[in-house]
Amino acid sequence: MKPQSIADGSKTEKPAPKKQRTISLRLLLTLTFGGLVFLSVATVLGFSVYSNFSNTISLLNQKSVTLLDSMEREIRSETSQAERVIVSLAKSFEEGKFEVDDQDAVRQRLKFILRAVPIIEMIHIYGPNNVKTGVLRQPDGSLTINPLSDSISSHLFSPGPFPEIRTPLWGEPLVINNILFHNVYISLRRGDKVLGTVVASIGRRSINRIIVKLGEANDTTAFVLNNKNEVIAHSNMPEYFRGVPKAKLEDFPDPSLRKITTAEEYGSRKNNMDSPVTIKESGTSMNGLIFLTKKLSGYSSIPYTLGAYFNKHDILDELRRIMMSAMVGFLALVLAVIAAIFLSNKISRPLRDISRIAGKFTRFEIEDIEPLPPSRVSEINEQAMAINSVRTAMSEFSHYVPKSLVKRLVSTGTDATKSVEREVTILFSDIVGFTRMSEHLDAVETANVLNEHFELVCTEIDTCIGTVDKFMGDGIMAYWGAPELDVDHADHAFQAATNIARALKKDNENRANRGIDKLQLRIGIHTGHVVVGNIGGGDRRNFTIIGDAVNVTQRLEQFGKELIGDEEIIILASARAKQAASNRYKFESIGTRELRGREMPISIYAFQPDLD
């Protein structure tokens, strides 16, 4: 709408928008809470002069339960990785993704698991006809196939009918080659038949690594005892167990821990019998040790004892400070909460919105984030505007890097981009004759053709949880198995290729109806080891994969020039990729061929996608 003219020919100006008045959140909270907190603290300190009582036992109970519960949760969180692995293996077997007697394929799976899950140190699969495949990680990180003799292996799994174990079951700990192993079992089933058993073993290095971490995290000495009062893990002496699976408590070289046998229950009042934690003390009232212990069940028929000990002087001083702070802060907290009720209507709504949207950021649900409205509280208003800016930036950023990588960066930080070696399945695709086709198109038409084609291919790759690495002219490079671990990366790659073939067929039908030339597509698929992570220097880096496997995949795609003919699509796969995939996919042997730029020939297969 044009501005109106007045008699002298000048134009009226729109009034400047009225500046929104805001108040500082710091000032608001200081005026509201400052006086109340000051009054409450002064009152509490005055009453504290006339009151002097102690509840150290209760506080110590609370602290010990919290501490040992957190330690137990950490142990179970670590060991549950082994449970999840064997459940995944059992599911893959039930779905027919591998056979027990295909020992080469089984070894590859087991090797992948040991490389991907550090807590598992040994894993075995037992099948019919005494078929057994196992892999052990040595202290130097190397992997040993079938590391146990038949006589030793029989201790891990007794010959006879396979037991039916539907959920992970921890068996009795076993000493194998002077190493104490904790073993978790599950059945391998097909329908109603139990055809085998998988056993994942956690050894000395993993158990002591967990206990050392617990000791360091909680600034204490952590330990584990079995029912025979033998030490099986100690946070300060993990190297002691290098050649000894366990040690009698009276022989263990920690004089402080040995005092637990003569320690008495703490305080003049005995511990609450309903408490899961036992508290004992040794020495004098201020000099000595406090032992906290709790039963740890599930890893042996008779529960272990999980424990920690502290210097008494340190823990009692800390508990007294906690008690005094709690008494002083209680009334201050009550008054502060009352004041918070009056402010909640003004500040809770935008804070809840910010918290909710921050949660969506951590889950990288950018599409579901709506812009935040402005607020009269300046700090909240600044946060809302900042979050809106970050939302816009992250939305744009996600178009340039893999979404799976962005999600990992949001949740884990820079660790997500560290370079690691990983087995992946790689896919290269390329439009046949696109250079010749583009000669008859202008720049905008060329870009439109490419964008439509890339949208088609990238959609199918994303659906099959693949990562699009880069666009190269009219070609695409993608991979599976990184940055997130994917045991079935080869299956997902071939499923993506199948989906691309179907989508291309439908797209070509539409192009034919519009009188446009059909597109032909070459695809190469190969499985191999690569380095995945940040590649580059200075402030110019790419998250990508490098290695000979990338070159092999690209040569496979280019070799398709000799075979495609008039077909819409040709998909060539290496023997490694075929071997890594399940047997539900169909292949036709092309033979052994030499690829350009490579000295050694490789076996090539034509993948036959099911387009029905």
**605 or 152: which carries more pLDDT confidence?**
605
Strand partners, 181: 174
Using a pLDDT cut of 90, give the percent of the chain over it.
47
**355 or 496: which carries more pLDDT confidence?**
496
What CATH fold (topology level) applies to the domain 413-608? Alpha-Beta Plaits (3.30.70)
Question: Is residue 491 over pLDDT 90?
Answer: yes
pLDDT value at position 56? 52
Question: Is residue 339 over pLDDT 90?
Answer: no
**18 or 174: which carries more pLDDT confidence?**
174
- Beta carbons of 554 and 534 less than 8 angstroms apart: no
> Taking the domains of the chain in order of start, what are their residue ranges?
25-52+321-396, 54-302, 413-608
The CA distance from 349 to 342, in Å, is: 13
pLDDT value at position 420? 86
pLDDT value at position 349? 64
pLDDT value at position 130? 86
**376 or 201: which carries more pLDDT confidence?**
201
Q: What is the pLDDT of residues 474-486, one digit of tens each?
A: 899 999 998 888 9
For the chain, give the number of residues.
612
pLDDT value at position 552? 94
The pTM assigned to this predicted structure is 0.45
pLDDT value at position 4? 39
pLDDT value at position 27? 59
Q: Where are the alpha helices (DSSP H) in 231-311?
A: 255-258
pLDDT band at 73 (very low <50, low <70, confident <90, very high): very high
pLDDT value at position 611? 82
Put residue 536 in one of left, alpha, beta given phi > 0 → left and psi -120 to 50 → alpha. Answer: left
Query: Region 574-592: what's the mean pLDDT?
Result: 94
- Beta carbons of 114 and 487 less than 8 angstroms apart: no
Cβ atoms within 10 Å, residue 294: 21
Chain-centre distance of CA 412, in angstroms? 9
pLDDT value at position 270? 45
Least confident range from 331-340, 540-549, 564-573: namely 331-340
Q: What is the pLDDT of residues 500-511, one digit of tens each?
A: 999 999 999 999
First-last CA distance in the chain: 58
pLDDT value at position 494? 96
The CA distance from 57 to 316, in Å, is: 10
Percentages of the chain per state (helix, strand, coil), in multiples of 5: 45, 25, 30
pLDDT value at position 287? 79
Q: What is the pLDDT of residues 387-432, one digit of tens each?
A: 777 767 666 555 555 565 555 555 555 555 678 899 999 999 999 9
**439, 444, 450, 452: CA torsion to nearest 10:** -130
Superfamily of domain 54-302: PAS domain (3.30.450.20)
Highest mean pLDDT of the ranges 16-20, 44-48, 423-427:
423-427
pLDDT band at 498 (very low <50, low <70, confident <90, very high): very high
Least confident range from 290-304, 354-368, 446-460, 576-590: namely 354-368
Question: Is residue 222 over pLDDT 50?
Answer: yes
pLDDT band at 184 (very low <50, low <70, confident <90, very high): very high
